[in-house]
Structure 1
Amino acid sequence: MSDAARLDLPESGYVLANATVPSAVTSGTINHMGDGLGRADLLIERGEIASVAPCGLLVGRDDLPAIDLDGGLVLPAFVDMHTHLDKGHIWPRKPNPDGTFPGALTAVSEDRPARWSAQDLRRRMDFALRTAHAHGTAMVRTHLDSIPPQEAISWPVFQEVRRDWADRIEIQASALYGVESLLQPGFLDHIADIVRDAGGTLGAVTYMIEGLESSLDALFQAASRRGLDLDFHVDETADPQARSLRLIAEAALRNRFKGRIVCGHCCSLALQDAEEVDRTLDLVARAGIGVVSLPLCNMYLMDRQAGRTPRWRGVTLLHEMRGRGIPVAVASDNTRDPFYAYGDLDMVEVFTQAVRILHLDHPVGDWIRTVTVTPAQMLGDPMRGRIDAGLPADLVLFRTRNWNELCARPSGPRRVLRAGQEIGRNLPDYRELDDLMEP
């Protein structure tokens, strides 16, 4: 397979021959090689995966042209389950003054009321989605700042953008606000109705405030009445006394909540004693909660002090969670905004950095599920993030042949297929947003 020339892929059908496929993302038959990888041929017909078979079984038919991948790795299109498209790419006009969490909060609280018009949001969100699409992502959940009056702008824009992108990326949205907002009369019903009408997910940023348990009960009950799922930002702090993850799990069990629950960040858990960790994780497993870690953003924010080297990584306990059967994922989080100055919504970068930061290696095994199968299931679409017969041929093809090569060279050549056809990978130019960055 050439690195440069666009692949000539007949819509009627072809074979991707001699591919390396992770066993964790397919139920097809592959020739296992170790470390969760195997060799296979993929039959693509009319935009779908028609078959996954051991190498050689699908090659040789005159009516099926074959593209020899020479052992190149093939992954399903990615699922980025925790992003902030409404904040993305405001760094040039509103950088974080010191890289800290309080600095990020202040910067965003100043930029939002001054600059987040419908036009501003729409352009920045579209720029971000074009980037994610070019990198190979097919499903995204974004959190939307929903503090009045911003909710009246952001949710209609989200619905417009979702319609515009429906044939390229499936986009979900979750409401974002501090948990103390639930104490304001009428706020919860107001935002829950907006979320229901937009087909979104309810949520909150949780931390240890007085009356947190009763606020969580009200939130769970409001979601239940409207048939909504829940997605929380949880304990994004270095304070070991921040234990709202446990309180969320207790509230889920207490209220017999039937919907899906996701908790993001959960940073403080890594600083708590073993007894508290065991107690919390037992409850999280019983409540059926999924956890998403945001390693790039939390490495950037957590334990940052001027003139002092950080002492911990800021990430949560993914190994311990997975050992208890808790679904775990990793995602991009913020992109070029005060909460994370960098990032490009590239799930290859997110995965390979997560392998390094969280030690998801020796072996890598099935950790690729954290950016494919598992987040898709947590977002309610169990057919995404897989390479199986009958599914759309939404694939990412690499020249690298194994996890070591991918993690050593994550920026190396890749091709993105959607419905079996290669898409252009020209990334949008930052200059497109220059007029939005003027003071």
Structure 2
Amino acid sequence: MSFHSPSLPVADRYALTNATLPAVTVDGFEAPQKEGLVAADIVIANGIIEAILPSGTAPADLPAANLDEGMVWPCFADMHTHLDKGHIWPRSPNPTGDFMGALSSVRADREAHWNAADVRARMEFALKCAYAHGTKLIRTHLDSLAPQHRISFEVFSEVRDAWAGKVDLQAVALFPFDEIDNEAFFKDLVEVVVAHKGLLGGVTRMEGALDNGLDLLFRTAADNGLDIDLHVDETQEKEVLTLKSIAEAKLRNRFEGAVTVGHCCSLARQDADVAKYTIDKVAEAGISVVSLPMCNMYLQDREPGRTPHYRGVTMLKELAAAGVATAVSSDNTRDPFYAYGDLDAVEVFREAVRILHLDHPLDDAARVVTRSPAEILGRPDIGRIAAGLPADLVLFSARRWSEFLSRPQADRIVMRNGMGIDRSLPDYRDLDPLMMD
């Protein structure tokens, strides 16, 4: 079989031979590594990975696809997205490209357009893109100011059910943290989150007293068996120390659920001793951190007529070195917070390598869009290659990191349950009816 053919062997049991795998994504198999890559054959039976074998040792009588050293990855996990905002740029652009412009544009678009049909159509479009690119697990934040929380969570539950088995979905309630003091609103929001099996989230305030609100958030989550995923310190102002407060609050409240924080941009601007204290507290508290490098670089340190001085991303390497679970993710897609993107984890990974310097060496870099986010989201069955797991794989012609990171890998093959899928992407024209005022 030529790699570029979309056809895989038509057989219940077959092999992918002469493959190159990122070792960090593989369980139960060891082989000599070069830049964190290993050579292997993969035996697939009835849609399940039966065995991972040394290259050249697959049974000779099996139908086989010779990948000619092409890479094989597990399907991806994208743990911080905004499916409800996606693809509104044509009708609600952000003229300034900055954070305040994004807030204003999204607010106006939400108030004018976000009925159930609009949200559902854009979510479906985004999921078609993610699925075609090879993503299997997505967590989305949903704007949850009343009455939008009831509209969007209802739609989300319907979409989650419809996409079950193709893309597994989780949802987080996103709201301005000041609203936690609004007792009626917060009580209703929690009821909605519990009913739809979601998570508590929020955009934490960047100034003022935090402790009371954080204590209420942790108590409420504990009382209702909910995990927490927060937007934190999305600013270049070094005085903003919300991440530290969240770590201290988790410890103070002895919260046993999972806590994830995203962005944490100001951490990289702080004095070394301040940053180290915060990182140590985050590690002690067992909080996971997701960086959104494309969106953070787009929004942070943007001023008219001036080249940005800072990359806008958090201290991902230092956090990981301290034992913090870390990952990277897409964040926004074609909306006022990020004008670009397609929920393609390969693009996210490629840009993360550049922006965060995940290279030299690249040995374990592949984890940040595969097993690490899947583990953080409580799905260790996703984002890895192992005997007994579904053959949900992404096949690339690229053989080495230099090849992989230098092209968009548009010729990839996505396999689900051992079979290649139709990778046709939806046409942007499909959204045209939604863009007409």
Task: Give your verdict on TM over 0.5.
Answer: yes
Partners of 1:74 and 1:124 in 2: how far apart?
Answer: 30
Partners of 1:220 and 1:194 in 2: how far apart?
Answer: 17
Secondary structure of the residue aligned to 1:72 is coil
CA-CA distance at 1:210 after TM superposition: 2.6
Partners of 2:379 and 2:190 in 1: how far apart?
Answer: 22
Partners of 1:138 and 1:289 in 2: how far apart?
Answer: 23
CA-CA distance at 1:214 after TM superposition: 0.5
1:27 equivalent in structure 2: 27
Partners of 1:341 and 1:206 in 2: how far apart?
Answer: 24
Partners of 1:358 and 1:202 in 2: how far apart?
Answer: 28
- Structure 2 unaligned regions, length at least 5: none
CA-CA distance at 1:152 after TM superposition: 1.4
Greater displacement, 39-48 / 187-196? 187-196
1:244 equivalent in structure 2: 242
Partners of 2:347 and 2:337 in 1: how far apart?
Answer: 18
- TM-score, normalised via structure 1 length: 0.98
Partners of 2:187 and 2:281 in 1: how far apart?
Answer: 28
Q: Is contact 1:399–1:414 with CA below 8 Å preserved after alignment?
A: yes
CA-CA distance at 1:211 after TM superposition: 2.6
2:131 equivalent in structure 1: 133
Q: Which letter maps to 2:102?
A: A
| Cα offsets for 1:239-273 (capped at 9, x unmatched) | 11111100000010001011111000000000000
| Cα offsets for 1:205-240 (capped at 9, x unmatched) | 112343311100000000001111000000001111
| Cα offsets for 1:287-341 (capped at 9, x unmatched) | 0000000001011100001100000100000110111110110000000000000
Aligned residues: 437
1:280 equivalent in structure 2: 278
Q: Which letter maps to 1:69?
A: L
| Cα offsets for 1:77-108 (capped at 9, x unmatched) | 00000000000000000000110000000000
Secondary structure of the residue aligned to 1:89 is coil
| Cα offsets for 1:90-137 (capped at 9, x unmatched) | 000000011000000000010101100100000000000000000000
2:16 equivalent in structure 1: 16
2:6 equivalent in structure 1: 6
1:335 equivalent in structure 2: 333
Q: Which letter maps to 1:14?
A: Y
Secondary structure of the residue aligned to 1:205 is coil
| Cα offsets for 1:55-85 (capped at 9, x unmatched) | 122141x2x2011001000000000000000
List aligned pairs for 1:325-404, cutoff 5 A.
325-404=323-402
- Structure 1 unaligned regions, length at least 5: none
Q: Which letter maps to 2:249?
A: A
Secondary structure of the residue aligned to 2:179 is helix
Greater displacement, 217-226 / 184-193? 184-193
Partners of 1:194 and 1:107 in 2: how far apart?
Answer: 26
List aligned pairs for 1:22-421, cutoff 5 A.
22-60=22-60, 62=61, 64-421=62-419
| Cα offsets for 1:338-385 (capped at 9, x unmatched) | 000000000000001100010000111111111010101110111110
Q: Which letter maps to 2:354?
A: R
Greater displacement, 203-212 / 265-274? 203-212
Secondary structure of the residue aligned to 1:173 is strand
Partners of 2:80 and 2:247 in 1: how far apart?
Answer: 20
Partners of 2:319 and 2:67 in 1: how far apart?
Answer: 36
Partners of 1:208 and 1:412 in 2: how far apart?
Answer: 40
Partners of 1:55 and 1:225 in 2: how far apart?
Answer: 51
Q: Which letter maps to 2:14?
A: Y
Q: Which letter maps to 1:268?
A: S
- The Cα RMSD (Å) is 1.0
CA-CA distance at 1:173 after TM superposition: 0.3
Q: Which letter maps to 1:359?
A: H
Percent identity, aligned pairs only, is 54
